[in-house]
Structure 1
Amino acid sequence: MSNSPAPSLYAKREPIFPKRVHGMFRNLKWWIMAVTLGIYYLTPFLRWDRGPSLPDQAVLVDIANRRFFFFMIEIWPHEFYFVAGLLIMAGLGLFLFTSALGRVWCGYACPQTVWTDLFILVERWIEGDRNARLRLHRQEKLDARKIRLRLTKWLAWLLIALATGGAWVFYFADAPTLAVDLVTGAAHPVAYTTVAILTATTFAFGGFAREQICIYACPWPRIQAAMMDEDTLTVGYREWRGEPRGKGKRDAGSEQGDCIDCMACVNVCPVGIDIRDGQQMECITCALCIDACDDIMDKIGKPRGLIDYLALSDEGRERAGEAPKPVWQHALRPRTIMYTTMWAAVGIALIVALFLRSDIEATVAPVRNPTYVTLSDGSIRNTYEVRLRNKHHEPRMFRISLKGDPALRVQLEGTPYEAVQVEADEMRIQRVYVVAPKGSVPADGESTPFRFWFEDTGNGDRVYKDTIFNGKGQ
């Protein structure tokens, strides 16, 4: 029996140094990176005038006052279904794009991909392209040049990570004010802690972990297979055209395939896989291998598309020399139509709910301890806790009345009037008494239904809440 140690189940990570590549998909990734980073860093500083009593930040998660502002839209805590609906739409959108084009989210718009691309770009600017970075990595001697390049790169990464963590906290407070407070040391410790955590994670994930987050930490590579089928367009290698591969330039009459085994597709891959080995969990469908392969095909005089967006259902047609199905046939199929319909339905429902919601809201909670009180004159009194929410940007007066048994009358605690003022964008808790004179409540019942009406005296808007009056007749 051998005494040799059992082999490890885990291989040591080999650092990946992607080579620079030019092409349509690389340019598309640059544009998406610029747009997404611009949105992330600049959005907190967009101003939106909401009047004197509300913050002027266009997008703000106001945790202290439990509200979310998005330009002209204001979401209150009890309206969290809007946020839930947006999350559902995001999930359905992810399913839709994955079903149609594979992991395009991972390859183009995922924050891990965007920041990793940015960190690699900085690394390339400072240390050089792939070969130069490989030489520096393999250099065992820690000389002054290596120390200088590494420290410069890490400092640049740290500044990017710091800006990332700083931008995130700006979404939760007035951005210009918080920026000054962070610099002057006047910000709350929670802000500094959040910035420090996000800075550290961005620095580690984008600079060192990189593809390890996609492979090991992210669950999406293991879920995506359920979203894809044989008609999904995803990055693939036309093995029937490229094999048998071989080195050197191929003549027109050569029996060898178009692939010259130049490794260009592997050298540009940010996760270090060989797409020619078929579909792999690690592939994020960034399509950089398409740009690299097309460039080589141009140089050796072969048609582009050896590596391309392909569908498994087209393989048989292409092997037989036929043209693949049009892209629209891959995009419009039952699975994608179902996802699109569900996505649109949720979106339409949210828009309808947004436009139909009232600017005033009220809730009524009967006070149960005691259920009712018999006063000295024999009348019966019930107590209710009313919550009035004013969504207008100025104070409003609300008249409280009731409809039901004509004998019931309403009294407001703290005021002899039937109306109370609710401040702008605030909620007021008002205790309301409903009194039934002696002998006016049916003797054969414990409760009498009635309806509270709440009217905005400024514009006449009204809402109502049904409840019951408790107590036996005398």
Structure 2
Amino acid sequence: MNNLETRPPESSAAATPEDLTRHDPTEPPQHEVPLNLYEKRKGVFPQKIDGKFRRFKWLVMLITLGIYYITPWLRWDRGPYAPDQAVLIDLAHRRFYMFGIEIWPHEFYFVAGLLIMAGIGLFVVTSAVGRAWCGYSCPQTVWTDLFQHVDRLIDGDRNAQIRLAKAPLSPSKFFRRTFKYAIYLFIGFWTGGAWIMYFADAPTLVRDFWSGEAAPTAYITVAVLTLTTVGLGGFMREQVCIYMCPWPRIQSAMLDEKSLLVTYKDWRGEKRGSVKKAAKNPETYGDCIDCHQCVAVCPTGIDIREGPQVGCITCALCIDACDRVMAEVGRPRGLIDYATLEDCEREAAGEEPRPVWKTLLHPRTIAYFSIWAAIGLGLLFALGNRDHTDISVAQDRNPPYVMLSDGSVRNAYTVKLRNMESRPRDMRIALEGLPQGVMWTDAMGREDAASTLIQRMPADATQAFRVYVVQPADVAKDEFTFTVTSLDKQAETDSNEARFNAPE
């Protein structure tokens, strides 16, 4: 630790008996006892930079923020019986809509599969190009980048921000801080507001929210997300990436000497020195002129020249800064670059590095991608072959059967039908395996009992009803099947086995 406060050790005359027996007497005396266990955070003020990686970050930020804020407003026609919001998590009716896909509660394995694919996709990206997800697409990175642009808009670039941070409070500084934090709150508020729109019809929710008619949960959620967005993206920033996020600690298991990383080529850059020094002693100094531009543009404030470290999010802005400086001093680009450790060794030995496409096709990345693709294809197959009709049957246990006055035996069942189409459908229920059996429901009399029934099912709904099955008195226990068939062009069928109880 740097700048630790210390105190001299206590003498044996002033120490208590407990202090005298606390350590092994054979240990050397302790000369410095640290009082502070952490170093105070130093503000990070990234400098504005332009380059291909910075422009790519702009593109990713615009796409991701656009998707997040605009998606709840997109419409998707599902007919008159289903919501028309393209992406909707309908907790009240336990549905998840994503364009033409509708996920029911019993199909949660689709959501689980998507989450597994997201995790393995992160493995694929990390194995191939390091923490590129962290550097470009992570929500913490995207919103932090947005807040940093707000800082530059209000306070100026890096040097102006540093001067303002060190300056005493004045009317001008107070106004700038107030205006900037107001923009922070505005961004945080719309971030929380966009989130709740995924759980209800967006236009209706906005109207209810501003008229004070929305549910209390909506206001609480917006308030919490506003504070967390401003807190994490506006103030904590790189601390989340370095100290709070577990991914930097996990990623090392997926990286090896064949993984592409943002790398400083020390064999080429050292010894560091200014242009004038290098001109006087060209054999002594390397290409690095120690301008610290790579540090100035880093959003986490690290020095990439110190080697791979937990604070590097692989955003590659240091590459843009270094390439610009190399162009200005007339030296080849690539002092800081995307490279593997193997290629760095080859290049240091005077060999040509491998093409990027060969670097990406190493066994670990291919294995991760194969698993990811297999899960995706499996989900697509299951989605394309699922039925939209379902039946489940639960038999009454008490009593197991009833003897009727005419000597016949009656069993009772609770039948649950599910219509997953966004339109009403007629469904035929039939008994298979009971040649003498007939059935009826609470909505009809026994005189209308038959071996098949027609049930009208509402759109996108599940409906449960009682079914009574009767057989003659001389039958024994038997297994049979309830079968349901949709009476439309799909003619989807599902079945559920059941048991008919009778006296021994």
Give the structure 2 partner of residue 182 of structure 1: 209
1:357 matches 2:386: yes
Cα deviation, residue 453, structure 1: 0.9
Q: Which residue of 2 aligns with 1:465?
A: 496
**Does 2:158 correspond to 1:151?**
no
> Identity, % of aligned pairs?
54
Larger radius of gyration: 2
Listed as ranges, the matches of 1:4-15 within 5 Å are 5-15=33-43
The answer to whether the Cα contact below 8 Å between 1:245 and 1:258 also exists between their aligned partners in 2 is yes
Question: Residues 56-79 of structure 1, C-alpha deviation per residue, up to 9 Å, x if partnerless?
Answer: 100000000000111111111111
Q: In structure 2, how many angstroms separate the alpha carbons of the residues matched to 1:364 and 1:228?
A: 52
Matching residue's letter, 1:464: S
Letter in 1 for 2:478: T
TM-score norm. by structure 1 comes to 0.96
Deviation at 1:248, TM superposition (A): 2.6
Contact 1:269 1:289 in 2 (8 A): yes
Q: Greater shift after overlay, 448-457 or 89-98?
A: 448-457
Cα RMSD, aligned residues only: 1.4
Does structure 1 retain, via aligned residues, the 8 Å contact 2:293–2:318?
yes
- Structure 2: distance between partners of 1:326 and 1:368: 70
> Hey, what does 1:2 align to over in structure 2?
9
**SS across alignment from 2:133:** helix
Contact 1:401 1:410 in 2 (8 A): no
SS at match of 1:324: coil
Task: Write out aligned runs for 1:248-259 (5 A).
Answer: 248-249=275-276, 250-251=278-279, 253-259=282-288
Instruction: Give deviations 1:188-215, integer Å, cap 9, x for gaps.
Output: 1110000000001001111100011111
**Aligned 8 A contact 1:407 1:440 in 2:** no
Say if 2:475 and 2:502, in contact at 8 Å, map to a contact too. Answer: no
Q: For 2:484, which of 454, 457, 463 is the aligned residue?
A: 454
Instruction: Letter of the 1:388 partner, please give it.
Output: L
Aligned mates of 1:285, 1:97 — CA distance in 2: 12
Contact 2:418 / 2:463 at 8 angstroms: preserved in 1?
A: yes
Matched position secondary structure for 2:337: strand
Tell me the secondary structure at the aligned position of residue 69 of structure 1: strand
Aligned to 1:76: 104
Question: Per the alignment, in what secondary structure is the counterpart of residue 390 of structure 2?
Answer: strand
Aligned residues: 467
More off after superposition, 101-110 vs 413-422: 413-422
Is 2:307 the partner of 1:278?
yes
- Which residue in the other structure is 1:136 paired with? 164
Any unmatched runs of 5+ in structure 2?
A: 1-7, 11-31
> Which of 402, 405, 417 is equivalent to 2:431?
402
Match of 1:444 in 2: none
Report the CA distance between 1:255 and its aligned residue: 3.0
Aligned counterpart in structure 2 of residue 428 of structure 1, from 463, 486, 495: 463
* TM-score, normalisation: structure 2: 0.90
Give, in angstroms, the shift of residue 5 of structure 1.
4.9
Residue in structure 1 matched with residue 76 of structure 2 by the alignment: 48
Measure the CA separation in 2 of the matches of 1:405 and 1:331: 62
SS in 1 for 2:275: coil
Query: Separation in 2 of the partners of 1:264 and 1:40?
Result: 33
Equivalent-residue separation in structure 2 for 1:263 and 1:25 (angstroms)? 18
Q: How does 1:148-227 map to 2 (within 5 A)?
A: 148-227=175-254
Q: Which deviations, in whole Å up to 9, do the C-alpha atoms of 1:74-128 show, x marking residues without a partner?
A: 1111111111111011011000000000000000000000000000001100000
Note the C-alpha offset of 1:328: 1.8
State the Cα distance separating 1:374 from its structure 2 match.
2.6
The amino acid that maps onto 1:135 is: R
Q: Secondary structure at the match of 1:80?
A: helix
State the match for 2:28 in structure 1: none
Matches of 1:9 and 1:307, distance apart in 2: 34
SS in 2 for 1:117: helix
Distance 1:369 1:210 in 2: 62
Q: In structure 1, what residue type is equivalent to 2:220?
A: T
| Aligned AA (1:145) | S
Return the offset for 1:335. 0.8
Give the Å deviation of 1:456: 1.3
Amino acid at match of 2:475: S
> What are the ranges of 5 or more consecutive residues in structure 1 without an aligned counterpart?
442-446
What is the Cα deviation at residue 6 of structure 1? 2.1
Aligned counterparts of 1:254 and 1:455: Cα–Cα separation in 2:
85
One-letter amino acid of the counterpart of residue 270, structure 2:
E
